[in-house]
């Protein structure tokens, strides 16, 4: 149906379609040159951006942002609530250490071995866990994560047990070892974050991602249409596990070692909080949640030990001196007042504004029709 009026046309175009990609490219460039700049944010960063301490904190933020992205692929795209995602993060970290220490391979073959090991573990555990769905699926993944944590803690000779595993620096290039090379490690973690983002973006935009989303909404309908929801979810599970393993490799290099806590369910819950804080289903929200949580986790420890908190009465000093208490209060506030997370709230505000703008334009069209507007400059409104 075509309606002729004397007002500008409301024909949707591709204006701004590439704006998010351009903004993302600019952000990556800014992050890449950040170690060369002297930028200070008091209370947020421990020092100027070129110092090793600040670069180490920003690198850790990018590592957990990558883990949050991989978890958002599970929860946001496929709707799978997993309590065992840290198992694959730890598989990447410990797999790299084992490959370098016991197989004696160089760094990049060790990275390949760790990724393959993480994917194999994900294939075995995911194939079993996805025989069920919902809460039973979450419990099965939790059981696998706890089993992995027990194996890591009890296997003193290979994994280092409770003391953790140190990075075999003899097999690592010199430009990725030591505090003096923190800048190189920062760029390495930035590359890992970009790779994980591109993989997640590819899955979300592909037929696999659309099938996983359809399965999340109505699995029975997907089966009726003759497609396999189990296969789609399993592939998404493997991709998310591979991204988590890559993040674990970056963590191993950045921290020059790893601990059993990198395998347990506590880390998965932490990553879940990051995703919920940023906004489930939003890629940039997962990145923002990972960065914010990591900075708060590090900086609130300094705040909790500050002199002004030490001078408060016991009824305030005792809870405020615990960083986890502060993080818990923040998370409760976000859930109460920002139920869609930061990204979800921003997206809802943008949609509401667009809706108001569209309604305003439609009212103008109605007013023009009522007034019998027939100006020479005519435009087509396609409905």
Query: Above 60 in pLDDT, residue 7?
Result: no
Q: Residue 142 in contact with residue 83, Cβ under 8 Å?
A: yes
Query: Above 70 in pLDDT, residue 212?
Result: yes
Q: What is the dihedral of CA 273, 274, 275, 278, to 10 degrees?
A: 120
Distances, alpha carbon 162 to alpha carbons 132, 150, 175, 258, in Å: 33, 10, 29, 10
pLDDT on residue 2: 40
Average pLDDT score, the chain:
85
Q: What ranges do the domains of the chain cover?
A: 47-281
| 56 or 297: which leads in pLDDT | 56
The pLDDT tens digits of the residues spanning 75-118 come to: 999 899 999 999 999 999 999 999 998 988 999 999 999 999 99
374 strand-pairing partners: none
Q: How far apart are CA 333 and CA 313, in angstroms?
A: 24
Q: State the average pLDDT over residues 225-242.
A: 91
Query: Above 70 in pLDDT, residue 372?
Result: no
> Which of 27-36, 83-92, 132-141, 321-330 bottoms out in mean pLDDT, i.e. has the lowest?
321-330
pLDDT on residue 244: 96
Q: State the average pLDDT over residues 3-30.
A: 62
pTM of the model: 0.85
Length of the chain counted residue by residue: 383
CA pseudo-torsion sign 264, 64, 85, 164: negative
pLDDT on residue 373: 52
Which ranges in the chain belong to alpha helices (H)? 19-33, 52-72, 86-102, 107-129, 135-154, 156-159, 182-205, 207-217, 219-224, 229-255, 265-278, 283-304, 307-310, 314-320, 323-337, 341-370
Q: Residue 128 in contact with residue 233, Cβ under 8 Å?
A: no
**Residue of 28, 9, 374, 377 lying closest to 193 (CA atoms):** 28
The helix-helix angle for 19-33 and 182-205 (nearest 10°) equals 170
| 295 or 317: which leads in pLDDT | 295
3-state SS track over 246-276: HHHHHHHHHHCEECHHHCCHHHHHHHHHHHH
């Amino acid at each position: 149906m075509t309606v002729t009026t004397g007002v500008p046309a409301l024909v949707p175009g591709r204006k701004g379609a590439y704006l998010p990609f351009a903004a993302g490219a600019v952000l990556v460039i800014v992050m890449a040159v950040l170690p060369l700049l002297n930028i200070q944010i008091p209370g947020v960063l421990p020092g100027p951006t070129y110092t090793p301490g600040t670069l180490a904190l920003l690198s850790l933020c990018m590592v957990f942002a990558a883990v949050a992205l991989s978890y958002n692929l599970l929860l946001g795209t496929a709707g799978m609530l997993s309590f065992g995602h840290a198992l694959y993060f730890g598989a990447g970290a410990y797999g790299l250490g084992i490959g370098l220490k016991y197989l004696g391979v160089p760094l990049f073959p060790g990275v390949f071995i760790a990724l393959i090991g993480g994917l194999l573990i994900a294939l075995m555990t995911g194939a079993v866990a996805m025989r069920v769905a919902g809460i039973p699926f979450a419990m099965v993944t939790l059981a696998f994560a706890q089993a992995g944590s027990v194996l890591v803690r009890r296997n003193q000779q290979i994994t280092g047990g409770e003391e953790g595993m140190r990075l075999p620096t003899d097999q690592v290039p010199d430009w990725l070892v030591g505090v003096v090379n923190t800048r190189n490690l920062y760029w390495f973690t930035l590359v890992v974050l970009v790779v994980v983002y591109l993989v997640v973006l590819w899955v979300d935009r592909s037929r696999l991602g659309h099938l996983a989303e359809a399965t999340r909404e109505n699995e029975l309908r997907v089966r009726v249409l003759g497609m396999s929801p189990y296969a789609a979810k399993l592939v998404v599970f493997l991709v998310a596990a591979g991204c988590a393993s890559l993040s674990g490799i970056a963590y191993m290099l950045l921290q020059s070692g790893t601990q059993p806590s990198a395998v347990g369910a506590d880390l998965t819950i932490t990553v879940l909080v990051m995703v919920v804080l940023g906004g489930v289903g939003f890629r940039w929200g997962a990145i923002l949640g990972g960065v914010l949580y990591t900075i708060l986790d590090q900086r609130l420890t300094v705040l909790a030990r500050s002199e002004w908190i030490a001078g408060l009465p016991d009824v305030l000093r005792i809870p405020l001196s615990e960083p986890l208490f502060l993080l818990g209060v923040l998370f409760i506030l976000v859930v109460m007042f920002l139920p869609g997370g930061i990204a979800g709230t921003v997206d809802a505000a943008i949609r509401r504004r667009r809706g108001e703008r569209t309604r305003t334009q439609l009212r103008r069209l109605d007013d023009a029709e009522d007034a019998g507007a027939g100006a020479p400059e005519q435009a087509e409104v396609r409905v």
